[in-house]
Structure 1
Amino acid sequence: MTRQLRLILVLLGLALASLATAGQALAHAALTKTVPADGAVVASAPGEFSLSFSEPVAPLVLNLIGPDGTSRALTRFALADRTLTIIAPADLAHGTHILSWRVVSEDGHPVGGSVLFSVGAPSAAPAITANQTEPAVRIALWLGKLGLYLGLALGIGGVAFMVWIAPIPATARRPIAGFLVLGLLSLPVAFAAQGLDALALPLSGALEPAAWQAAAASSFGRTALVVGLALLVALIALRMPDQSGRLVAILGWLGAGTALAASGHASAAEPQMLTRSAVFLHAVGMAGWAGALLPLAFGLRQPEGVQALRRFSRRIPALLLAIVLSGLALAIVQVEHPQALLTTAYGLVLTGKLVLVAMLIGLGAFNRYRLTHAAASGRASARPLLTRIIAAEIAIVVAIVAVVALWRFTPPPRALAAAAAQPATVHIHTDKAMADISVTPGRTGPVTITVSLLDGQFGSLAAKELRLALSRPEAGIEPIERQAAKQADGSWQVGNLTLPVAGRWTIELEILVSDFEMTRLKDTLDIRP
């Protein structure tokens, strides 16, 4: 077994193990606001619900579970920018309801959750089962992505060789066609797994129409359409005469960039004009670089192969510059802070990719400055050594593609930051007074606390003063007391407050209703790390 094959097998084994043991994938779009708010108690049944997200989404499954545990599908809704407005049933009973939702974000990743609210007064919360994607589906999705990316990089990239370097050697056409066919065969696997993941269905549901419909409704549906056409166009170009084949190959090459820019977490980031353009340029550049390796390796067996190698050596710096600049732009948008490279799953995948790319550049530089001239001069040992090094480069390309396919399961740090910025909320309900409390952000560190007060009949509560205290006795933290300031909209606010530790905090409100009446409310809320 060659060293290159061992490298590929080790990487594939590690990737499969990480997918099989991973928990549910974290969401890439964060829920930013709900109406009614999570935990709220409303006086009468609402006519509609709304869910607002940090990124555009498309609904997959919307259910309302009533106090008696009965689940009803919600099929009437409207999308406006990043807000999903859902028409509520007309006969909502008093008590606690759960709005269960599952949507697919613009980057193609499913997001799910639930919102609990009560009509009139709280009751026992109905049971709800969390949906999770099984490991077999994640593995199938990764394998499908791996095959697609190999088809783009070594298949379409191999055909692109005739566009910017030289005609493809006859001996290289068959392996390039093999990678194109691999991409086409992987397309339905990735598509079905995308739908299964979106609906949290088991692998046995791969033939269910709902899974394919969910995949088509996601942004990956656009990518699948474009990548399928690009692979077919590249196959056609491979079988055409060189002159006409080059024209058709350009379409396939550009199609590879367009397909990856159509979906994915990088393309979904703002500003879209920058990120989608950067993804397109990065994909086209990487396909051109990686795809040239197979034709070069087979071409070196012929005398004219050295000329193609020299032409590649002269032109690759411009392509590398485009790859580096576009990759840097995407990394700045996605990672935000350098420490995230080692503290997040996304950053670790990116770091692994960068290490492999550095190895690839190192081998390429050795070829360019030490072996290309020697091979052109006719040195007998140069060509076999060049061929072996290019084979090692191809193995590294496969490793890079396998690592990149893991990004499907790792939310970028920008998405984690958006989720971390969401507030922690609690609703306190008594006969005399009610309070909606929001702690922003809902994690350790500096926070702002906003309190909205109502009386026991859902009318406004004209308080004279509001004082709050937060404590966490389990961590040895005695009450932190603050006087709240009344805002123009009638709410009360406390700023310049720092919560040092995560966990369940006790919050107590002292509401001075009049000079002779004081009302106290008390509950707990969870603060994230």
Structure 2
Amino acid sequence: MTTPPRSPAALLLLAAAALGLLLLGATPAAAHAELTGTTPGDGEVVAAAPDRVTLTFSESVSLADDAIRVLDPEGAGVHSGGFTDEGDNTWAVPLEGGLGDGTYTVAWHAVSADSHPISGAFTFSIGAPSETVAEIPDRTGDDGLTGLLYDVARYAAYGGFVLMAGTAAFVLVCWPRATALRPVQRLALAGWTSATAATLALLLLRTPYTGSGELADAFDLGGLRDVIDTRAGTALLTRLLLLAAAGLFIAVLHGPSARLVTTGGAAEGDGNAEDAEDAATRARDLMFGLGIAGTILAIGTAATWAMSEHAATGRQTGIAIPAHILHLLAVAAWLGGLATLLTLLRTAPTLPRAVVRRFSAVALTSVTVLAVTGLYQSWRQVGFSWSALTGTSYGRLLLLKVGLVAVLLAAAWISRRWTARLTDTAPERPDEETDAGTDAGTDAAAVAESPERTRQLARQRTAVRQARERRARDADPHRAGLRRSVWAETAIAAVLLAVTTVLTGTTPARTADTAPAQAAPAAPRGPVSVPFDTGGERGQGTAELDLSPARTGGNTLHVRLFDTEGLPTGAVEVRVAFTLPAENLGPLRHEPLHVDVGHWTLTEVQLPRPGDWEVALTIRTSDIDQVTETATVTIT
């Protein structure tokens, strides 16, 4: 049987390894908002230069000053002035006048309402596509080293909060006397330190994470000021203030409260019932006040996550935010309490069975709350679609989380069985009298020795006492079994927390399953060449048909005529007709507009269905010389 490690360091290493594997294996975090439409459309060819470009998102986003850039074929910016909010999650950026023909690139970068950065690009052409397209500079900060550091800080913030709140809940509800134990005090301080340091790191990393990705930007005061004005920045700053108050709470909980508990215990041991009762009353009053204050602080701190993540966007936010807060509090009470119980099983000389049973009741309540709120959150973010559950990253991570919770519950069931076998009778230790006599003789001899010798003997006595206590703890097989099962629960909980961290940075399955796939900007399809011969003088040549973007919906058609020497040639009339033989649709007849020598264009060609469309091109070069040629174009 594997022996659980005797130091929390091993557990921290396990949690870090789990987080590292998840983060290294995960794709860059996608966000809740999606780009749902643009004007001009991606790949669209327009006859005249538009005066602005608009972008529409599925949900609200925030944009920096240079969030939308429009670049000409050579990479120079052609947007003039800042963007404007058009309402309905639509943003517009004005363009300079007199833009020439060619392919233009629109690069955008935004932050969704659930605090995650999103970015992308698309192209459109004026007149005709150009051979060159601007290169889009990489400006995403949610991947690479910046993204990794940000995710590690998010995990540390979650873990610190769980440890801090769970330890306090265990002390206040299950065993107030644990507040005077050094290992429990160190555990609470470790949680508070981790949550505070991680939150400060998140606030500093916010600028590079949502911007350029350069770590040096973390110390840009202007960027920090802009971050604080956002929803995520306000939540992080509020969390820092609440954690400052939580530091005072922890100091009182493990300071005056611990002294009152110790005083009451000492008075009771001395037989002074009146002093013991008075100290116990004051301790209960202080614990009651601390319980109220701690609950308020825990709810407020949990709300800083709920108000800036998935719960704050989408539907039913009025229910989703309180449910998210309850979910976080239940996680803290269960998992943080597990870490506290494991620490006490390792270090406390005795652990009353009533304490373990109280925590068992707390854990059962927490699991019930987690089940109810988790089911609601799953329905809200996934729905009842099997494809959303199995075909999206969010759904697969959710299935993994459910599996880990099932394993965790199995380990908890084993722990409950060990709890039922615990006794409050400590194992007999026949060496106590011998050790006591040895200590008394040593004390008498140490009086005549030097102070250094006295300190050395004190350290030896401490080591002997700790070894004796450890032997006593290990002599109880039920306690040892409970310690192993609780360690297994805590280890699974550390991995579960890592999965949850990645899950909060992933696009909800409902959005990912219904959002249109965003293709990367692609080069426009090449023209189709069609030879023609009208039979008249100079009636031979080649027609080039260029249909863009060759998708269902609106398209633009360019017709260019060339003579046998490859020079542009004219015609009296040009007509086109579109037919989809597979569905007996058409013909859809159009007359292109003559824009230049040998060049005709037709905008807003509506092709409603995908498939292989036949294009009938009619060319008339005189009153009697005319021919109709056909070509096939594929519409996706």
Q: What TM-score, normalized to structure 2?
A: 0.66
The 5 Å alignment of 1:120-159 reads 120-131=127-138, 132-133=140-141, 134-159=143-168
* Matched residue SS, 1:114: strand
Aligned: 1:289 with 2:330: no
* Matched residue SS, 1:86: strand
Q: Which residue of 2 aligns with 1:446?
A: none
How big is the shift at 1:234? 2.3
How big is the shift at 1:514? 11
Q: Which residue of 2 aligns with 1:467?
A: 579
Q: Which residue of 2 aligns with 1:473?
A: none
Aligned: 1:313 with 2:355: no
Aligned: 1:170 with 2:275: no
Question: 2: distance between equivalents of 1:484 and 1:450?
Answer: 15
1:335 to 379, 382, 396: 382
Could you tell me which runs of 5 or more consecutive residues in structure 1 were left unpaired when the two chains were aligned.
440-448, 470-479, 500-506
Structure 1 residues 209 and 291, CA gap change in structure 2 (3 angstroms) = same
CA contact (8 A) 1:160 1:253 kept: no
Judge which range, 208-217 or 127-136, deviates more.
208-217
CA contact (8 A) 1:195 1:211 kept: yes
* Matched residue SS, 2:91: strand
Structure 1 residues 512 and 494, CA gap change in structure 2 (3 angstroms) = farther
Structure 1 residues 126 and 493, CA gap change in structure 2 (3 angstroms) = closer
Equivalent AA in structure 2 for residue 69 of structure 1: G
Q: Which residue of 1 aligns with 2:444?
A: none
Equivalent AA in structure 1 for residue 579 of structure 2: R
Question: 2: distance between equivalents of 1:166 and 1:491?
Answer: 75
How big is the shift at 1:140? 0.5
Structure 1 residues 136 and 272, CA gap change in structure 2 (3 angstroms) = same
How big is the shift at 1:18? 5.3
Structure 1 residues 303 and 215, CA gap change in structure 2 (3 angstroms) = same
* Matched residue SS, 1:71: coil
Equivalent AA in structure 1 for residue 364 of structure 2: P
Q: What do you get for the CA RMSD once the two structures are aligned?
A: 4.0
2:401 to 346, 353, 358: 353
Question: 2: distance between equivalents of 1:74 and 1:156?
Answer: 51
Question: 2: distance between equivalents of 1:374 and 1:485?
Answer: 84
CA contact (8 A) 2:4 2:484 kept: no
Question: 1: distance between equivalents of 2:186 and 2:616?
Answer: 79
* Matched residue SS, 1:99: strand
Structure 1 residues 436 and 429, CA gap change in structure 2 (3 angstroms) = same
1:110 to 106, 117, 122: 117
Question: 1: distance between equivalents of 2:504 and 2:57?
Answer: 20
Q: Which residue of 2 aligns with 1:185?
A: 197
Question: 2: distance between equivalents of 1:53 and 1:266?
Answer: 18
How big is the shift at 1:27? 4.9
Structure 1 residues 7 and 75, CA gap change in structure 2 (3 angstroms) = farther
Question: 1: distance between equivalents of 2:231 and 2:408?
Answer: 31
Q: Which residue of 2 aligns with 1:450?
A: 553
Question: 2: distance between equivalents of 1:162 and 1:73?
Answer: 60
CA contact (8 A) 2:614 2:630 kept: yes
* Matched residue SS, 2:422: helix
How big is the shift at 1:95? 3.0
CA contact (8 A) 2:334 2:362 kept: no
CA contact (8 A) 1:143 1:190 kept: no
Structure 1 residues 422 and 64, CA gap change in structure 2 (3 angstroms) = closer
* Matched residue SS, 2:75: coil
Equivalent AA in structure 1 for residue 585 of structure 2: Q
2:615 to 506, 510, 517: 510
Q: What TM-score, normalized to structure 1?
A: 0.78
CA contact (8 A) 2:388 2:510 kept: no
* Matched residue SS, 1:38: coil
1:260 to 305, 308, 321: 305
The 5 Å alignment of 1:21-420 reads 24-60=28-64, 61-71=67-77, 76-79=82-85, 80-131=87-138, 132-133=140-141, 134-161=143-170, 164-167=173-176, 169-171=179-181, 172-209=184-221, 212=224, 215-216=227-228, 218-240=230-252, 241-298=286-343, 301=348, 305-336=352-383, 337-338=385-386, 341=389, 343-368=391-416, 370-376=417-423, 378=425, 380-407=476-503, 410-420=506-516
Q: Which residue of 2 aligns with 1:483?
A: 585
Structure 1 residues 436 and 122, CA gap change in structure 2 (3 angstroms) = closer
Please state which structure has a larger fraction of its residues in strand.
1
> What is the count of residue pairs matched by the alignment?
492
How big is the shift at 1:147? 0.8
Q: Which residue of 1 aligns with 2:565?
A: none
Equivalent AA in structure 2 for residue 405 of structure 1: T
Could you tell me which runs of 5 or more consecutive residues in structure 2 were left unpaired when the two chains were aligned.
253-285, 427-475, 529-542, 561-573, 589-603, 621-625
Which of these two proteins has the greater Rg computed from alpha carbons? 2
How big is the shift at 1:203? 3.1
Equivalent AA in structure 2 for residue 124 of structure 1: E
* Matched residue SS, 1:107: coil
Question: 2: distance between equivalents of 1:75 and 1:391?
Answer: 60
Question: 2: distance between equivalents of 1:428 and 1:19?
Answer: 41
Question: 2: distance between equivalents of 1:363 and 1:216?
Answer: 43
Q: Which residue of 2 aligns with 1:503?
A: none
CA contact (8 A) 2:146 2:214 kept: yes
